[in-house]
Amino acid sequence: MRKIISLICFLLPVLAFAAEPENRSDIRLDIRSDAPDRHIVVKGDTLWDISGKFFKDPWKWPHIWGLNKDIIKDPHWIYPGDVIFLDRSSGTLRIGQPGTSDMVAPSSVSDTGNNVKLSPKVRENPSPHDAIPSIPASAIAPFLTQPLVIEAGQLKDAPALIGAREGRVVLGNDDTGFAKGLPSDKGDQWQIYRPGKTFVDPDTNEVLGIEAIYLGNAQVTHFADISTLAITHAVQEIYAGDRLVLPSVEAVNTYLPRAPESNISARVISIYGGVSQGGQNSVITLNKGARDGLESGHVLALYHKGEVVKNEGKQYTLPDERYGLVFVFRVFNKVSYALVMQIRLPVQLLDRANTP
């Protein structure tokens, strides 16, 4: 037992050192030259934007706030009306009033001679629904309720639309359709899809999945062998043969921006909307997923492949150029979706996204 206790005592300083955030001097050097001394949080702020007001690398805010990414998976909530203060000496941010404890409000402290009297005070905890998100929630919310990527053949066995009233061929908002194979124990809310393009790894030619094209929403009004449903929302024309899939729901606020713990080298294989270039707040698809170690919240750096130039009759390949950052917000087994957060050049197909 003595040996065990001695070993624990020996390891405690090592463990404490390992739990420390990254070098504080590095963070102090990362403070923007035009950083304010404080910022009052307003509705519409994000943790990324707030940290970007103070630091050159806003995605490093978990270290700045002193979060331990191995223990705390959700960000530290802040709310509109909170005041964020910058401590330039330590390179950290904090919430509250200068010179007071987080547990004691200024009005609850009084000084009577040599004694300091602390009075109890009621603290109000805002609703989590009012918390400031990590990244723009509106930019990714539509992608959190859609499957986006399916395995080859997955839609083949899904419930299918087989027709409409009066022999209608195209269905839209408020139209009535009929479907087969709908289970009655999964709820009455469904989404409508058809298979889109096949994602192929540009490096290995492996089939990574099939993009699911979202067509709209439907509500089942009567379950039977042939069920009746109403089209409640249509974004594209809907036809017989299109498939029904249960919606998925993921939280928007619970993303902790951080670098992957391993070296990730992914390629941009698609830019949402079928375009060849993307800009700020574009959503891109990467050819790496959960099996490769990617997780929601990972931040990757974007690189353009270096151009080939000629000089004095010889060819030279220029170094790859880093030009932006992306934030991974949804991960499937073989592919991931990321939001373009910072960029100074357009994102192009086959650009690389690497561990920063």
pLDDT at 102 over 60: no
> Is the pLDDT at 122 greater than 70, yes or no?
no
Q: Is residue 66 assigned to a domain?
A: yes
DSSP state of 252: S
Q: What is the pLDDT of residue 96?
A: 67
Asked whether residue 133 falls in the same domain as residue 166, the answer is no
What confidence score (pLDDT) does residue 71 get? 45
* Domain end among 181, 213, 245: 245
Residue 239 inside a domain? The answer is yes
Residue 49 lies in a domain: yes
Domain with residue 294: its CATH number is 2.40.10.410
Do 280 and 214 belong to one domain?
no
Q: Judge if 209 and 286 occupy the same domain.
A: no
pLDDT of 76 > 90? The answer is no
In a domain, 191, yes or no: yes
Better pLDDT: 189 or 122: 189
Give the pLDDT confidence score for residue 143 in this predicted structure.
Answer: 77
Residues 3 and 181: their CA atoms lie apart, in Å, by 65
> Tens digit of pLDDT for each residue in 279-298?
888 999 999 999 999 998 89
Would 7 be classed as within a structural domain? no
Contacts 24+ apart (CB under 8 A), 5-9: none
Do 350 and 281 fall into the same domain?
Answer: yes
Give dist(CA 229, CA 226) in Å, integer: 10
Tell me if 256 is assigned to some domain: no
Contact 302, 313 (CB under 8 A): no
More confident residue, 77 or 304: 304
For residue 344, what are the contacts with CB-CB under 8 A and spacing of at least 6? 323, 324
CA distance 182 to 50: 46
CATH number of the domain that residue 237 is part of? 2.40.10
Per-residue confidence (pLDDT) for residue 308, from 0 to 100: 81
Q: Are residues 29 and 133 in the same domain?
A: yes
- 227 & 299 share domain: no
- Are 219 and 176 within one domain? yes
> Once rounded to an integer, what is the mean pLDDT over residues 63-89?
67
The token pair that represents 70 in the structure block = 């191995």
DSSP reduced 3-state for 11:
helix
The rounded distance, in Å, linking the Cα atoms of 307 and 321 is 9
**Contacts for 49-53 with beta carbons within 8 Å, 24 or more apart?**
50/78, 50/84, 50/132, 51/93
d(CA 266, CA 288): 6
CA nearest 213: which of 231, 185, 233, 235?
235
Task: With respect to residue 53, please indicate whether it lies within any of the assigned structural domains.
Answer: yes
Higher pLDDT, 136 or 20: 136
The percentage of the chain sitting over the pLDDT mark of 90, rounded to a whole number, equals 35
Q: What 8-state DSSP symbol labels residue 132?
A: P
pLDDT of residue 117: 52
27/131 same-domain check: yes
* Residues 28, 56: Cα–Cα separation, whole Å: 10
Shared-domain flag, residues 156 and 87? no
Same domain, 272 and 229: no
Q: What is the domain range of residue 230?
A: 146-245
Considering the domain architecture, whether residues 224 and 311 belong to the same structural domain is answered as no
- Give the chain's domain count: 3
Q: State which of 138, 160, 187 marks the end of a domain.
A: 138
Q: How many Cα atoms are found within 13 Å in the side-chain-facing hemisphere of 181?
A: 14
In a domain? residue 108: no
Q: Do residue 187 and residue 281 come from a single domain?
A: no
What pLDDT, in 10s, does the model give residues 309-350? 888 888 888 888 899 999 999 999 999 999 998 888 999 999
